[in-house]
Each structure stands twice: as structure tokens, then as C-alpha cells.
Chain A
């Protein structure tokens, strides 16, 4: 019940295209769903996060779509740029007295110029 399943494992997108990464969770107690971005040689950094009381959150070119009934959420990167090339991790957490997050296995995104 603690798993977060992420797909695809890797993704190649042309510059200007839309990148879509999907995640599914099992534990309905989760109430916080962030996406982290990691560049080579760096630690992950929070990109955008959503709570289950909304179905979509947009920040610039990055959008989270959240489907509570399906227990799925996805990251959409509009107008993808070469600078977006990184590893993206979804995560789920909350619902308790701890700040633990359960991370997906990551998606390596390459945006070709």
C-alpha cells in the first residue's frame, strides 16, 4: 500500500513538445503529491506539488493533473526545452504525523533541440 508507481522510465521529447509522466499510488491516506526535478550531480529539488482537494495545478509550463478516484497523478511539461532535461520523481506523503515521502522510481527526460 506504500508504493508509488511511475512511468515511463525514460522519455525523449522534441523541443517545443509536451512531456507527460504518470504516477499511481495505493494508499488513500496520502494527501500531498509533489514532483521533484533532479539534474545530474545534484540533489532533487521540489518542482511543483498538489493536494487532493484540487484536480489541477499549474506553475508556468508545468502542470500537475490529479485524479483522486483513479489514484493517479501526472506531470505535464508544455513547450519542453532542452534545459528541462533531467530526472523527474513523483512522490506521495502526508496523512499522518510524519513528513515522510514515498518516491517513484524516476523518469529520465531528454529534450532534443
Chain B
């Protein structure tokens, strides 16, 4: 029972590079989310997806791109990384609306942009 996994767990990249963070869930949950966690800001929603091929912006989407061609995968791409994108990134998934709103989080990816 893998649940929700993220890769890589740690990443160091340079300013201007493109980097993709991967998220995979085995529950067939409809909803998937990407958050960034920064001290003093808590968890801020970057993008979310209600189903395959349906995505929408969250609170802090600038500089990020997402796609969801398959229900189980929700990659997050930083097209041209900046130092301000140094953060811990969490992916989460949730069942269909109308049921529990509980979100299940992955272990996180710590990204450092130098």
C-alpha cells in the first residue's frame, strides 16, 4: 500500500533551470493538490486538480506549471526556478467531493534553488 509518494525527496538546482517534482498516488483519488510550506506562511496552495485533465490555480501559482494526464500522477514544474521558490513542496490527494474533505499528504520534496 504505497499511498502517496513524491520524488525526488531532495533537490538542489540553479536559478533559471527547469525542474519537475513528481507526485503519485495509488488510491485513485479524484483531487490532487500541490502546496508549498514556508516558515511563517504555513501551507499555501499552488495548484489543484479535480480530475485528469482538470486543473486550476491556487493561492500562489506564478512560476509553476502542472499537468494531469493520468488520475494517479500530478507533476509540478518550475519553468525557470528562482531563489524565492526554495521551499518544501507537498503533494496531497483527496476523495471525490461530497464525501470526506480529508487530504492525504506525501512526504514532501525539499527544493533549494541556488
Q: Which of A42, A49, A104 lies in contact with B107, CB distance below 8 A?
A: A42
A99, B42: Cβ atoms closer than 8 Å: no
Is the beta-carbon distance between B40 and A105 smaller than 8 angstroms?
yes
Q: Which residues of A in the span 40-83 have a Cβ within 8 Å of any Cβ on B?
A: 41-46, 49
The interface bits of chain A over 84-108 (1 if a CB of B lies within 8 angstroms of the residue's CB, else 0) are: 0000010001100111111111100
Most buried by B among A49, A101, A105: A101
Interface of B: prevailing SS: strand
**Interface status of A6 (Cβ within 8 A of chain B):** yes
Asked if B53 is at the interface of the complex by the 8 Å CB criterion, the answer is no
Q: Digit string of A17-53 for contact with B (CB within 8 Å is 1, else 0)?
A: 0000000000000001010100001111110010000
Contact check, A94 vs B101: say whether CB atoms are below 8 A apart: yes
Interface residues of A (CB under 8 A from B): 6, 9, 32, 34, 36, 41-46, 49, 89, 93-94, 97-106
